[in-house]
Chain A
């Protein structure tokens, strides 16, 4: 069975270059159901596994509710990829980590790919991979997709992750006391409804944020349990929640 890998990242981080590098010509494109957003997916074979790679739209965030961001958010939350690769730009980490931190709140199976490392070096920027990995609580791989640097390391890390050889402990942003208290109150009730199928802390935060768009997506998800079941059939080309 192939493992599903989602590629997330800001625009212009070389996400598509990495996608092309990983999948070569074994890819096809179409649209996300009901949305004018391009969906590209392809296949990657490593030493031990076959991966189905899904290129999510490039976004700065997953909360602003543009069609692009909805697609990316829904995929990570409802389709639950086996691995999410977050591609970040080594030359502007501060901006890029916004999205990375959002993804870390949503799923444990994350690998942070620090791309454009060659360009960063030219600008005199060095990225402390070990420290970044320690602070984020997930594996970090330094890459230059354009120069084909770091790809083997990335594939090794992906293999190890699906083999269960890597345990992650994603960094979760601590919020103000008032917010944390509310999260604490809400989490048990969210767990009652969704069990472990949803990241309860993340969901509590979205509810506190009054994210109506997400509520709508959730309703569709709850109403249509079919969409939950089909998700795990490998034959399915992958689609949105009950769209």
Chain B
């Protein structure tokens, strides 16, 4: 399936992260917060103007700006795919 930046998905989508291209200190921060390759995240909420967007990562909601979320790629998981216990 095609992978695209996570800000392009819709509220309610469940995603699997395929790559994190952010660099430097922010990269470290995002990895620590759980934005790692293979992690399953949910798109929780979009701001009225679409930026920032809240994601649910390992049981915590984290809002990312477009600046960062455009550099994290993911694929959408199938609706009936097994829900990962978080």
Contact = CB atoms under 8 A, between A and B. Distances in A.
B32 A92 contact: no
Given A92-B59, A94-B86, A95-B59, 16 more contacts: A61-B28, A61-B29, A61-B32, A63-B28, A63-B32, A64-B25, A64-B28, A64-B32, A65-B28, A91-B59, A92-B58, A95-B34, A95-B57, A95-B58, A98-B32, A98-B34
Nearest to B58: A95
B16 to A, nearest CB: 15
Contacts of A91: 59
Interface footprint category on A:
10 to 19
Interface of A: 60-61, 63-65, 91-92, 94-95, 98
Interface string B31-72: 011100000000000000000000001111000000000000
Contacts of A61: 28-29, 32
A174 to B, nearest CB: 17
A61 B25 CA distance: 12
27 contacts: A60-B32, A60-B33, A61-B28, A61-B29, A61-B32, A63-B28, A63-B32, A64-B25, A64-B28, A64-B29, A64-B32, A65-B25, A65-B28, A91-B59, A92-B58, A92-B59, A92-B60, A92-B86, A94-B58, A94-B86, A95-B34, A95-B57, A95-B58, A95-B59, A95-B60, A98-B32, A98-B34
B19 to A, nearest CB: 16
Nearest to B26: A64
A34 B15 CA distance: 42
A94 B57 CA distance: 11
Nearest to A92: B59
Contacts of A65: 25, 28
10 closest A-B pairs by beta carbon, nearest first, are A61-B32, A95-B58, A92-B59, A60-B32, A64-B29, A64-B28, A63-B28, A94-B58, A95-B34, A64-B32
